[in-house]
Amino acid sequence: MRQVEPGAGRIGGQKSLRLLDPDSAVDSGMWDAYVDSAPGASSAHQMGWLRVIKRVFGHETYALAVEAADSTLHGILPLVFLKSRLFGTFLVSMPFLNYGGVLADGREEERLLLAEAAELRERLGAAHVELRHAGTVVEGLPVRSHKVSMLLPLGDSEEALWAKLNAKVRNQVRKAQKSGLTATVCDQALLDGFYAVFAHNMRDLGTPVYPKSFFARILEEFPASSRIIMVELDGKPVAGGLVMWHRGRLEVPWASSLREYNSSCPNNLLYWEAIRFAVGQGLDVLDFGRSTPGGGTYKFKAQWGAAPIQLHWQYMLKPGDSIPDITPTNPRYQAAIAVWKRLPVPVTKVIGPLLVRSIP
């Protein structure tokens, strides 16, 4: 491990700020051990994400940690530096994911991590630091609370969960099955089919698509805690999702379906299969991912019985700056979104990865 310079500091002479190496087995082991035990930790805090993002997108990554004299960790902050002519330069914890931000045992550890993040922002010339917190907030930082995560508690059996679902959802799952749709859980073997559906859906939404290598790298980095769920009709992929699990929670961070099959309810079968898989793994919660309160995806997830947990995306800004808005709802991007929706899918697979690498 290396002492962080500049900005390194100590708490009471006993704890110091360190920059850990994601490619070091020792550093990664220490980091992930802390993530596995710290209250409020999420899958996005795992060191493997820094390796995935650096190797797929080439972004600079920073694994800041507060270390005690006995080599135990008492706080961490993963950061990724994004820079783009279109969107500017900024540090994010964590880009492309729903969660991230500061994990710390106390206020002093939190203060030390944030002070170093501020030093890093200035040193790199970044416009801001974005911290993706869930549930709790850091006092004094500007915040956007425009999104929620939708969480469904799971029981001990799929039969009990099935009985709790409302009649509409059960009927939609049955409709998918009667329409001949089938669901399969696998790893790399289903990647091509998943990506074909995902890229097509992203084009329809007007959103640049990630490269297939991003998902391939995730499956390679987290082989024991990631899978693809594929819904097919007569062997043709019509819906799919990449699921991950950590500390009792199964997340569905990326899921898509082909619109022309919506009448057969493939999404309902996809999420029912995710529930069945989570219960089979002995997990406690299904995380449907983030949504805008009141929006279409929010209502879809709520009908399963999922409840919202507030997300707080906080910002460390330059004096006088306001909270940035790099989202599809920003009016300045509407014309580009409209054009994107008309592009051929093969074109979006080439151009999309070049753009999305800088969209957190």
What distance in Å separates the CA atoms of residue 27 and residue 240, rounded to the nearest whole number? 34
pLDDT at 330: 63
Tens of pLDDT, residue by residue over 300-348, are 999 999 999 999 999 999 888 888 776 666 666 677 778 778 888 888 8
CB 63 within 8 A of CB 22: yes
Split at pLDDT 50, 70, 90, the class of 5 is: very low
pLDDT at 6: 35
Tens of pLDDT, residue by residue over 85-138, are 878 899 999 999 999 999 999 999 999 999 999 999 999 999 999 999 997 789
Measure CA 291 to chain center: 12
Residues 6+ away with beta carbon under 8 Å from 206: 328, 336, 337, 338, 340, 341
Domain boundaries, the chain: 2-141, 148-310
3-state secondary structure of 64: strand
pLDDT at 10: 52
pLDDT at 84: 84
What sign does the CA torsion over 171, 237, 304, 282 have?
positive
Write out the CATH class of domain 2-141: alpha beta
pLDDT at 72: 92
Fold match flag (2-141 vs 148-310): yes
| Beta-ladder partners of 316 | 129
Mean pLDDT of 205-231: 96
Tens of pLDDT, residue by residue over 182-192, are 999 998 899 99
CATH superfamily of domain region 148-310: Gcn5-related N-acetyltransferase (GNAT) (3.40.630.30)
Tens of pLDDT, residue by residue over 30-82, are 999 999 999 999 999 999 999 999 999 999 999 999 999 888 999 999 999 99
